[in-house]
Amino acid sequence: MLEIVIIVIAGLLLGLLAFALVGLLRVRSLRTRHRERLATVTPTHSEPASLLGIASEGRIQTRGMGTLAMGDTHLLFAQLLPERDVVVPRDAITSTRATRHFLGKTTGTDLLLVTWDVDGLTDAAAFTVPDVGAWRDRLA
């Protein structure tokens, strides 16, 4: 009887160890891919941010946490999960402003609203960032 209990406990411990190891490897891989995606714009400034949404994708979309990075030629939001990138040429940015409303959603803090125009197609995205004013100044 004691042997069965020991075998069950050992099996559970090995299962937990395997689960933790797989999780650790996934997090490490996610971080590496995230850094590689950020490096594509050679950022001069980056900060943790959240994407509230992109206007062209409509009201129902997944919000996400990630990093907002500004390079010399592009603005990049690299979302962690699900992994996706929002890349905007800096010379296509037509305006930046603070707002608390976007796509029918209201927040208690200011959002950075970035509007851009590429080949006559206008789009916008709203981000939660630590200092909206500083981001507006950087993008001006």
What is the Cα–Cα distance from 93 to 88, expressed in whole angstroms?
7
DSSP string, 39-54: HTT--SEEEEEEEEEE
Burial class (CB in 10 A: 0-12, 13-18, 19+), 10: exposed
For residue 82, say if its preceding peptide bond is cis, omega within 30 degrees of 0: yes
**What pLDDT, on a 0 to 100 scale, did the predictor assign at position 1?**
80
pLDDT under 70 in the chain at which residues? none
**What pLDDT, on a 0 to 100 scale, did the predictor assign at position 56?**
97
Q: Which fold has domain 40-139?
A: PH-domain like (2.30.29)
Give the percent of the chain with pLDDT over 70. 100
**What pLDDT, on a 0 to 100 scale, did the predictor assign at position 2?**
85
Domain boundaries, the chain: 40-139
- First vs last Cα of the chain: how many Å apart? 73
**What pLDDT, on a 0 to 100 scale, did the predictor assign at position 44?**
97
